[in-house]
């Protein structure tokens, strides 16, 4: 298996030289004026597809863009319209956004005898409705609908309650599918993917905060704990697991298919909710991924127990990873990996579902490109972080490929074979929810951004479906949203007797528990929730204190040359100290009695101390060979190409 790595080295060198050639042959890159034209072109792409859907497929789920017909693919409830809601708002289309929200509020129902994917229904339908509600109900977004009366939020709560039976398993990890009318079928498969069980926290967590009902957040957090408790001693998770026994049925660990968004939601749940437990798990999981899966600049799949390589494969779902690394503050490897991934796009005009790094060819049976957004997403985030014009050039190439290879009479077609650009009569709803959204944001940022995301009242977290989830006080500071003068905690008093808010996200009282690992063989029941505490409605004044993370801001992983596990003792915990800076608004509660409030701005330096779990890590037998080959790759790439890479960067 080690013979694979020279091929990876050779192909990396060829791709890097190819990328340098591409950069030097482009004229002067994308100018601000051209960025405006490209933004307008992407705007037209959205409406070509959206109008095609509305005129030929609505209210069916998705469009068949070659034959201009519709089809039900998920549940038969206007999937593409729901998935497109926040893109309409982002583009400033008040009329169509309001009309769409009104139609959905009046016509959408979930009391139907349909068996649906818990994962897809959550990220597409629940996420789309939540994002639409948060935009339509808030004057600060500029898209407030005067007649709107929380219809989408009521639909969200109804849908989520119909999904809850899927979580009734011994491990807490949900079934993959559930019937919206009858619950889980007795013959339903007990096997689910890691992504399917671990990519529900954002949508369900936001819903808990909007409804003051902790059950939604509790079940999804328990699912994450159930998965993480069964990680290997290398801190890796597999691809598929039995939700009853907790046994892994597929032990291939990677960052792509079946696992990808598990990593994504660990970090984003921390960023949105401030829950340090998610940050701790992410840092442990990310460190293991970078140590065992990263073959600079590519990522491979390995056995979760031994770290032996099982797949030297780039699959298109991996392309989200550089964007996630930007959010984690790990920019350098993100740049190199994006360069490698984009070189595959340049070779074929699209990214195939699988590209074999050993044979340097499209993986058999994985030749399609179903209009996936992940590479566009990473391109947007890297441009936002670096403002390097190479990412605008990349975006322009992607627009060109889509316009000349995928555009068809009523929308944009799947590409069934990237080598021959053969079109297929299907358009996924995520093309409108994500693919064109990230391209539009990329060029709008270059042209001088004026949109909800860049200039709006809140910072936004993008869900894995590209839906906009704002970091409002109600969502991000559930216990602190009345901590500034004149603010109110607007809870529904009528629910306080029967529903309480889960405060397990506050780790001030027992920070030591935060950094303790779970035994991989332990049951999720060992990780109990803290007792929920009710919060009275309509409070004015000072709420309980900020959590550690909220006090000191977001602490990112430090970029170091040292391997995360290099030189690590098997019986000792190693602490990594990451310095950050933040400004904290501190209110003096003693001033309340005098009728005044003293506010002090404190400039603070924070330390995020991350400890490895208190378990013994067993290193794979081939660790030294792994380090040797990895060092060889890095040494040869640095000696042969360092000057060219620096110039291209």
Q: Which residues are tagged catalytic?
A: 120, 260, 353, 374
For residues 310 and 366, give the distance between their C-alpha atoms in angstroms, rounded to a whole number. 17
Nearest alpha carbon to residue 615 among 292, 235, 60: 235
580 is in an annotated binding site: no
Q: DSSP string covering 21-60, please? A: HHHHHSSS---HHHHHHHHHHHHHHHHHHHHHHHHHTTTS
Show Cβ contacts of residue 171 under 8 Å, excluding neighbours closer than 6 positions: 226, 230, 241, 243, 244, 245, 246, 523, 524
Q: How many CB atoms lie within 10 A of CB 291?
A: 20
Q: Is the separation of the CB atoms in 320 and 264 below 8 Å?
A: yes
Give the span between the Cα atoms of 31 and 34, in whole angstroms: 5
Q: How far apart are CA 225 and CA 281, in angstroms?
A: 9
- The structure tokens listed for 90 are 């982002």
Q: Which two tokens stand for residue 190?
A: 């007990």
Neighbours of 476 (CB within 10 A): 21
Around 493, how many Cα atoms within 13 Å sit in the side-chain half-sphere? 3
Gap between the Cα atoms of 97 and 131, Å rounded: 12
Partners of residue 361 on adjacent β-strands: 356
Tokens of 506: 């506050």
Give the H or E element holding residue 211: helix 201-211
CB within 8 A of 578, min separation 6: which ones? 555, 556, 557, 558, 607, 608, 610
Q: How far apart are CA 497 and CA 484, in angstroms?
A: 26
Backbone angles phi, psi at 250, to 5 degrees: -140, 115
Q: Please report, in angstroms and rounded to a whole number, the separation of the first and last CA atoms in the chain.
A: 32
Q: How far is CA 246 from CA 88, 173, 227, 234, 304, in A?
A: 42, 9, 8, 17, 15
Q: Are strands 240-242 and 191-193 parallel, antiparallel or unpaired?
A: antiparallel
Annotated binding site for Ca(2+): 464
């Amino acid at each position: 298996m080690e013979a694979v790595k020279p091929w990876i080295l050779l192909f990396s060198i060829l791709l890097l030289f190819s990328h340098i050639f591409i950069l030097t042959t482009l004229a002067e890159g994308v100018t601000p004026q051209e960025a405006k034209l490209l933004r307008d072109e992407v705007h037209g792409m959205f409406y070509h597809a959206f109008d095609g859907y509305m005129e030929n497929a609505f209210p069916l789920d998705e469009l068949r863009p070659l034959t201009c017909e519709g089809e039900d693919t998920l549940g038969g409830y206007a999937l593409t319209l729901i998935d497109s809601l926040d893109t309409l708002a982002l583009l400033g289309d008040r009329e169509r956004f309001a009309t769409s929200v009104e139609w959905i509020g009046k016509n959408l129902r979930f009391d139907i005898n349909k068996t649906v994917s818990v994962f897809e229904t959550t990220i597409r339908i629940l996420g789309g409705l939540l994002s639409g509600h948060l935009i339509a109900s808030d004057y600060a977004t500029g898209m407030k609908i005067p007649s709107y009366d929380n219809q989408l939020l009521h639909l969200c709560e109804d849908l989520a309650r119909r999904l809850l039976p899927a979580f009734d398993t011994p491990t807490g990890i949900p079934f993959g599918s559930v019937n919206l009318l009858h619950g889980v079928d007795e013959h339903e498969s007990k096997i689910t993917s890691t992504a399917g069980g671990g990519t529900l926290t954002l949508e369900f967590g936001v819903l808990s905060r909007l409804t003051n009902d902790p059950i939604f957040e509790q079940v999804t957090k328990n699912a994450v704990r159930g998965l993480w408790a069964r990680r290997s001693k290398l801190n890796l998770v597999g691809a598929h697991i039995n939700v009853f026994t907790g046994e892994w049925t597929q032990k291939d660990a990677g960052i792509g298919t079946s696992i990808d968004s598990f990593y994504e939601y660990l970090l984003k749940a921390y960023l949105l909710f401030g829950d340090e437990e998610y940050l701790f798990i992410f840092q442990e999981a990310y460190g293991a991924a970078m140590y065992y899966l990263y073959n600079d600049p590519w990522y491979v799949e390995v056995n979760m127990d031994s770290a032996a390589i099982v797949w030297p494969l780039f699959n298109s779902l991996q392309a989200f990873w550089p964007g996630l690394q930007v959010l984690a503050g790990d920019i350098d490897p993100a740049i190199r990996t994006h360069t490698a991934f984009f070189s595959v796009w340049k070779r074929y005009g699209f990214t195939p579902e699988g590209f074999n790094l050993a044979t340097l060819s499209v993986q058999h049976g994985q030749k399609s490109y179903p209009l996936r957004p992940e590479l566009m997403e990473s391109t947007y985030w890297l441009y936002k972080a670096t403002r390097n014009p190479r990412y605008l050039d990349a975006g322009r190439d992607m627009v060109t490929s889509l316009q000349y290879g995928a555009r068809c009479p009523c929308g944009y077609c799947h590409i069934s074979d990237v080598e021959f650009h053969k079109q297929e009569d299907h358009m996924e709803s995520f093309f409108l929810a994500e693919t064109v959204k990230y391209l539009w944001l990329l060029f709008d940022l270059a042209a001088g951004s004026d949109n909800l995301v860049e200039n709006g009242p809140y910072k936004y977290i993008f869900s894995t479906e590209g839906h906009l989830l704002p970091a409002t006080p109600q969502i991000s500071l559930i216990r602190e949203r009345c901590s500034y003068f004149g603010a109110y905690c607007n809870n529904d008093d009528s629910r306080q007797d029967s529903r309480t808010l889960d405060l397990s996200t506050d780790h001030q009282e027992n920070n030591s528990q935060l950094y303790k690992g779970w035994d991989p063989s332990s049951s999720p029941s060992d990780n109990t929730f803290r007792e929920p505490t009710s919060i009275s409605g309509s409070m004015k004044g000072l709420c309980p204190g900020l959590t550690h993370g909220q006090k000191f801001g977001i602490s990112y992983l430090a970029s170091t040359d040292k391997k995360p596990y290099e030189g690590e003792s098997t019986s000792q915990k190693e602490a990594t100290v990451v310095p950050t800076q933040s400004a904290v608004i501190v209110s003096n509660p003693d001033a309340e009695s005098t009728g005044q409030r003293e506010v002090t701005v404190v400039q603070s330096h924070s330390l995020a101390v991350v400890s490895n779990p208190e378990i013994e890590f067993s290193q794979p037998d081939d660790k030294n060979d792994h380090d040797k080959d990895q060092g060889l790759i890095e040494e040869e790439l640095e000696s042969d190409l360092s000057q060219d890479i620096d110039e291209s960067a």
